[in-house]
Chains A and B, each alone.
Chain A
Amino acid sequence: MVTVPRLDPVIHAPHRLHICSLLTPLDEAEFQMLREALGISDSALSKHIKQLEDAGYLRLRRATLNGRRRTWAQLTPTGRQAFAAHVDALTEIASLAHSSQ
């Protein structure tokens, strides 16, 4: 019997998967950069970020510099672990194609 690897439902949604992918190599990224990279509206991005925040995968930092308010997002250690596990699960599923050939 083949055990199907478990995917994280919080991360698996395409936009949240892309948010986590973008943030993986980074310490933090500005909200605006994420919005432009994903090509979605502020409200849609906020919704996805909120879901990641609620799961404890992401945290926000607000900073004001020269009167300009900026919001930075970063993955938490839990978020990094969950994302790594999710990528492992995807890799395992992808490898099934090779093993079945």
Chain B
Amino acid sequence: MAIFPDDPTPDEATRALTSIERMKQFGLSKGLYSRWFAAAVSSWSAAMAVATVYDGPLATWSVATLLIAGLMALGAWRHRAVARVRAVHGTAEAFAIVVAAPLVMLGLGLFAAQAFDASRQWWIPSASGAVAALVLFTVLELLRHSTRRRVTGRPS
């Protein structure tokens, strides 16, 4: 490990700043969810959307099982977490997370369920799942990038 003297020269100060940046990136990598996590959550939401819209004989059980499995996985993930990243969202992002994204998902689910009831087209549940996954993955990735940019001043 580098030693930083009390009165560092410009070169030593530069080395200290590099070292600070490296540690910040490391901390962020431990605290911020990965792209794989975003993909897993999006896949889960796709499965939820398909099960909800399809409304087959075991739909209620499928949704309940998926919901419980999802909550358990989230609990396990939080339990294993060794760092929590600072939430530094602007008003627009907070609005997107709390209001817009859930409303879009709910609207999409209702629209797809009505469309499926009316037409019984097999592709509607799958398409709603794909759209739900895409919307959620996009929101999660945008949040990940903006958090990284705000915290470190760099894109990921």
Listed in ascending order, the chain A residues whose CB lies under 8 Å from chain B are 4, 7, 9, 12-15, 17-18, 21-30, 32-33, 37, 65-66, 87, 90-91, 93-98, 100
Contact = CB atoms under 8 A, between A and B. Distances in A.
Interface stretch (B24-32, B39-47, B59-67, B131-139): B24-32
**Chain B interface main SS type:** helix
B20 A17 contact: yes
B85 A27 contact: yes
**Interface residues of B toward A: which range?**
20 to 34
A14 B3 contact: yes
Contacts of B20: 17-18, 21, 87, 90
B16 A29 contact: no
Interface of B: 1-4, 6-11, 13-14, 16-17, 19-24, 26-28, 30-31, 79, 82-87, 151-152
Contacts of B87: 27
**Chain A interface main SS type:** helix
Among all A-B residue pairs, the 4 with the closest Cβ atoms: A97-B10, A21-B23, A93-B13, A33-B82
Centre residue among A7, A15, A95 by max chain B CB count within 10 A: A7
A52 B24 CA distance: 18
